[in-house]
Amino acid sequence: MKQLIRSKNDRKLAGVLGGLSQYIGLDSTLLRVIFVILLFPTGIFPLILTYFVLTFLMPNEANEVH
């Protein structure tokens, strides 16, 4: 089962978009470009607030021990 987690390896700020891209199956760069493009028509604040909230709600990716 897929789990929505913040990425530890694919992160620019907090790993929210990297984890979301892994969950959805999209390229993380494409998702980041879509996020930046959507910042302006939405008035910036709603998406920034959503990103901030997801930073605290989404768990970090666990360390894998081999």
How does pLDDT run across 8-61, given as a tens digit for each residue? 988 899 999 999 999 999 999 999 999 999 999 988 899 999 999 999 999 998
pLDDT at 63: 62
Number of Cβ atoms within 10 Å of the Cβ of 2 = 8
pLDDT at 61: 83
pLDDT at 3: 87
Distances 39 to 10, 50, 61, 62 between C-alpha atoms, Å: 21, 11, 26, 30
pLDDT at 64: 53
Domain boundaries along the sequence of the chain? 16-57
Task: For residue 13, give both structure tokens.
Answer: 């700020």
Confidence (pTM): 0.82
